[in-house]
Amino acid sequence: MKKFIKEFKDFALRGNVMDMAVGVLIGGAFSGIVTSLTDNFIQPIINMIITRKFYSLEEVAGYASAFGSSVVNFLIMAFILFLLLKAMNKLLTIGARKPEPEVPAVKICPFCQSEISINATRCPHCTSHISEDEEEVQAETAEA
């Protein structure tokens, strides 16, 4: 049973599934905007053209208010989804370990520019001594 729950958790929290869920919820909320646009703007304009009846200022304000309300509802829904996904991503990264930076295994000889072991004090190619000061100069030139 533990394996089944772990598999379900891995499936449900995978990026594709979360993206699809957000898309469905945002699509549902956006359909309210489209419905409000057609009911409160397009349909009254069509009715006005067909019946040649002009709407009063109060009716137009009512239509605009209803459309504005649906836009605000959409924005609230989108903001809540954003906060939920942000919290879920934060929870998923709590147990994850950060990768440790790689320690280079080789360095470059400042005299012959060949790769040598990081622990070498003498270059096997040109047999020159590698001192700590030269390594610092080499590190500074590598950064630039």
Write the pLDDT tens digit of every residue in 13-65. 776 777 888 889 899 889 999 999 999 989 998 988 999 888 888 888 999 99
Answer yes or no: do 9 and 80 share one domain.
Answer: yes
Q: What is the pLDDT of residue 139?
A: 52
The residue-averaged pLDDT of 70-88 equals 91
Domain that residue 68 falls in: 2-94
Give dist(CA 15, CA 11) in Å, integer.
9
Q: Is residue 118 part of a domain?
A: yes
Q: Is the pTM of this model over 0.75?
A: no
Token pair for 14:
């995978």
Using pLDDT thresholds of 50, 70 and 90, give the confidence band for residue 92. Answer: confident
The proportion of the chain whose per-residue pLDDT surpasses 90, expressed as a percent, equals 23
Q: Count how many domains the chain has.
A: 2
CB atoms within 10 A of CB 36: 19
Inter-residue contact 95 to 88 (CB < 8 Å): no
